[in-house]
Amino acid sequence: MKRVLITGAAGFLGSHLCDKFINEGCHVIAMDNLITGDMKNIAHLMPLPQFEFYHHDVSKYIYVPGELDYIMHFASPASPIDYLKIPIQTLKVSSLGTHNVLGLAHAKKARILVASTSEVYGDPIVHPQTEEYWGNVNPVGPRGCYDEAKRFMEAMTMAYHNVHKVETRIVRIFNTYGPRMRLNDGRVLPAFIGQALRGEDLTMFGDGSQTRSFCYVGDLVDGIYKLLLSDYNLPVNIGNPDEITIKQFGEEILKLTGANQKLIIKPLPMDDPKQRQPNIDKARQLLGWEPKVNRAEGLKITYNYFKSLSHDELFKTEHRSF
């Protein structure tokens, strides 16, 4: 039985990875400091003997007893609202935290996959974004704490690979959605669906001409798993290239939910990328992977998840302690 450590295990992506590794017959050691994660995302796994949970901040020294085959480093705030509120923790988890998990991988002779992001491309000048593009990031802007920490994480990961021969994998994750996203994390999909369900107008930032390309979480997790099992150690984009403007996206959500409200314009946040679309040629060629779930299907599943939340959860505007 392979033993895998998953950091950020109680978060949106981390919890889906826990499910994946349990389904693949692994022993999962889940770690989270619960600053943005939520135990309810992994509550269904807690009774399993092959699942353990450690409440721990990976920016501090990590102790894990026994052997480890894989480490999946998914701990980090990942929405602009979160990392604006907790920029120092955001910087620490991808710098100090990455150093700790790489040291652990070296000591345990484990293969490690780190979760990087399309944010390393910043507000991209090259479109769609290939892995060879170096990006256009403002280090001192509101997204700097996240973007630069993830860029540091990639550099540190390459250094451990080159110096200590650690088996490393780097995934660059593009916008992803699905059940267990936090309703109030500020991202566009939970924002729009939450507003539709509460009978509020949908807050479109700017004129809505900026684009994003949304990947269903099940597809993302399959791509990440394939990358882990591959022998490729340079960054690989995983995302869905189906690009849409935020205005069209809002209209799709209104149609899906049957809401009578309208899109209203709010100020565009500083350094909001104008366009984003992954080039996934590398994932196709190296991993034989491409997304299978189209937006209509994925949005339906996600909408049903949000509809199933309680009235309290739906109307709670902020439930984080930070």
Coil, helix or strand at residue 232: coil
Nearer to ligand UDP, 40 or 266 (CB): 266
CB of 101 to ligand UDP, least distance (A): 23
How many Cβ atoms sit within 10 Å of the Cβ of residue 80?
18
Nearer to ligand UDP, 165 or 266 (CB): 266
For residue 230, give the nearest of 181, 285, 189, 273 by alpha carbon: 285
* HEC profile of 200-212: CCEEEECCCCCEE
Separation CA 94–CA 261 (nearest Å):
39
66, 190, 277 from 172: Cα distances, Å: 30, 22, 12
CB of 215 to ligand UDP, least distance (A): 12
What the block records as the tokens of 311 is 């009235």
Q: Which residues bind ligand UDP (CB under 6 A)?
A: 79-80, 175, 186-188, 191, 203-205, 210, 212, 246, 269, 272
The answer to whether 213 touches 242, Cβ cutoff 8 Å, is yes
Separation CA 102–CA 170 (nearest Å):
12
Nearer to ligand UDP, 100 or 184 (CB): 184
Q: Which of 70, 83, 146, 216 is catalytic?
A: 146
Nearer to ligand UDP, 124 or 161 (CB): 124
Residue 146 appears among annotated catalytic residues = yes
The answer to whether 241 touches 277, Cβ cutoff 8 Å, is yes
Residues with catalytic roles:
146
